[in-house]
Structure 1
């Protein structure tokens, strides 16, 4: 009986600690949100967004399909813009950072934004330390799996951290895991509520139609990109076209075009 009582007390203490942290965070962020002024005002508190979504009966309330799809598309675009600007700042020239053959989109960032949202949403009203730890873990797992998948499918790599300290198979490293943690806090505490606030302004009927149109386009774009990269890897291995599909991609997506789109892609080991 004493052991059962002790277990119940520990659970009650943990529950009370979690609730205290959530209530304290809600109060602090709500006060900061209400005091925002000027062009660089603070992002709205997540608790404020929750209330506004409920009152507006938004088509993208919570983390339903519509919000997740729009976050994925917006993240795919924003990630490319940030990388291009970073390349310009660091190297002094503009270079493609797109991951798809049509438009400035990279699904790596879109997938990252979605996974970050799904993983951290339940902790959106908790302290930033939880978001940092969750972001570091989730981001590192995503980066590792995407690197492994690209090398396995196409025998190519787009990044290599083998020269960085505390790396794992050259796919992830401690420094970038810390960056993922910072990004997790930045995303769930600042960027996500801003994106959700913009989505709130979209009329329900128009928003649903827009989401489906963009989603269909992105699926088509991803399919064409996978086929184009696959055929590109075949050309690198010296394989001649054997079908009308191969001829189509050779004509419309030659090496010169693919090298402009995927400026950092390198082919090494043969794909499995």
Structure 2
């Protein structure tokens, strides 16, 4: 149960980071989530669960940053690969960034993910873990069902349209009115 809520928390935090980043760089794609309804970026949640499970006990901050950077980047590569191959969409493209690999990952963001994951493990996780552990099983079940329903409709939409911008309800509504 705690791992589900950890995934949700960091996916939501990742959505917030994506929105800030999009604003800062004036990104063309303003929709910065990966679900139709829920404001979540699952690559962040999956990456942090991997870091916490595999490197969370690391003593040194810099070792944790190194392991976190490697784990987060590996998750980012895998998630991008699956989005591209299974859904026919690209949520990000690092081809314009130095030292990218197949547009899926790049060195500058690997460094950023390493530092952010180490900070999250040291500063954020100790504070949120007790709160996440106290969430009731009923709330967890409701959240799981909501996530499953949103996942189902999101996958259907992306497989049919191959357009990530339709994940914004405003864009989806405009598209539906054109039909």
In structure 1, distance between residues paired with 2:55 and 2:65: 10
Is residue 215 from structure 1 mapped to residue 108 from structure 2 by the alignment? no
Deviates more, 1:180-189 or 1:153-162: 153-162
* CA gap 1:256/1:108 in 2 versus in 1, 3 angstroms: closer
Q: What are structure 1's unaligned runs of at least 5 residues?
A: 1-65, 234-254, 264-272
Query: Residue 248 of structure 1 aligns with which residue?
Result: none
Considering only aligned residues, what root-mean-square deviation do their CA atoms show, in Å? 2.7
Tell me the CA shift for residue 218 of structure 1.
Answer: 1.0
Report SS of the residue matched to 1:156: coil
Using the alignment, how far apart are the partners of 2:164 and 2:96 within structure 1? 29
Residue in structure 1 matching 2:111, options 178, 181, 201? 178
User: Which residue matches 2:129?
Assistant: 196
Following superposition, the deviation at residue 74 of structure 1 comes to 1.3
| TM-score, normalised with respect to structure 2 | 0.82
- SS at 1:122's partner residue? coil
Aligned partner (choices 9, 15, 22) of residue 87 of structure 1: 22
Shift of 1:84: 1.4
Cα contact 2:72–2:110 (8 A) shared by 1: yes
- Checking the alignment, whether the CA contact within 8 Å between 1:167 and 1:173 is kept in structure 2 is yes
Q: 1:256 to 1:167 in 2, by over 3 A?
A: closer
Is 2:89 the counterpart of 1:160? no
* Residue of structure 2 in register with 1:3 after alignment: none
Give the conservation status (yes or no) of the 8 Å contact 2:51–2:72: yes
Work out the CA distance in 1 between the residues paired with 2:109 and 2:9.
22
| Structure with greater Cα Rg | 1
Which runs of 4 or more aligned residues in structure 1 lie more than 3 Å from their structure 2 counterparts after TM superposition?
Answer: none
**Distance in 1 separating the partners of 2:24 and 2:102:** 29
What does 1:69-80 correspond to in 2, within 5 Å? 69-80=4-15
| RCO higher in structure (CA 8 A, sep ≥6) | 2
Give the aligned length: 171
Relative to structure 1, is the Cα distance of residues 259 and 188 closer, same or farther in structure 2, using a 3 angstrom cutoff? closer
Cα distance change, pair 180–72 in 1 and its aligned pair in 2 (3 A): same
In structure 2, the partner of 1:114 is 49
1:107-149 alpha-carbon deviations (Å, 9 max, x no partner) = 22222222222122332xx111221111111011111111111
Q: CA deviation at 1:226?
A: 0.8
- Alignment-derived partner of residue 174 in structure 2: none
> Matches of 2:30 and 2:93 in 1, distance apart?
18
- What is the distance in 2 between the residues matched to 1:138 and 1:111? 10
Asked whether the equivalents of residues 35 and 151 of structure 2 are also in contact (C-alpha less than 8 Å), the reply is yes
8 Å CA contact 1:144–1:171 kept in 2: the answer is: yes
Structure 2, gaps ≥5 residues long: 172-179
Q: Is the 8 A contact 2:33 2:167 kept in 1?
A: no
Partner of 1:49: none
Q: 1:226 is matched with which residue: 149, 152, 155?
A: 155
